[in-house]
Homo-oligomer: A and B are copies of this chain.
Amino acid sequence: MEPLPTPTPAPDQPCCAPKGTAALGAEEAKRKALVFKALADPNRLRLLSIVRAEPSGESCVCDLTGPLELGQPTVSHHLKVLVDAGLLHREKRGTWAYYSLVPGALDDVAGILAQL
């Protein structure tokens, strides 16, 4: 931070910003990229699509393997990525796990794009 000549800029807003200074900081960008990593897979997009289309608002993992033509371990891996990214909520009931969209999560991702 240059102390001269005067005004006192906010810590993240240098007074003489070089052209091209990133509006998005490195740490924030790293955090925001995580959710796009979760979305950057066709099977995960399809899983979100299936769960969203379910009238009950949730899908049993047992209903998710068939449409994707993938084994349950692979589907479970993709579901875990979506849960870890905050896009899906997982609830274990009896034998099966049930997945639902985290309310507002996809809107939040759209918000990231709007505020880039």
Contacts and interface: CB of A to CB of B under 8 A. Distances in A.
Contact of A67 (B22, B40, B52, B68): B22
B43 A40 contact: no
Contact of A53 (B23, B26, B40, B48): B23
Contact of A18 (B23, B39, B66, B109): B66
- Identify whether the interface residues of A are mostly helix, strand, loop, or mixed: helix
Contacts of A32: 42, 45
A26 B52 contact: no
B63 A18 contact: yes
A24 interface: yes
Given A106-B116, A113-B106, A24 B45 contact: yes
B29 A45 contact: yes
Interface of A: 18-24, 26, 29-30, 32-33, 36-37, 39-46, 48-50, 52-54, 59-60, 63-64, 66-68, 106-107, 109-110, 113-114, 116
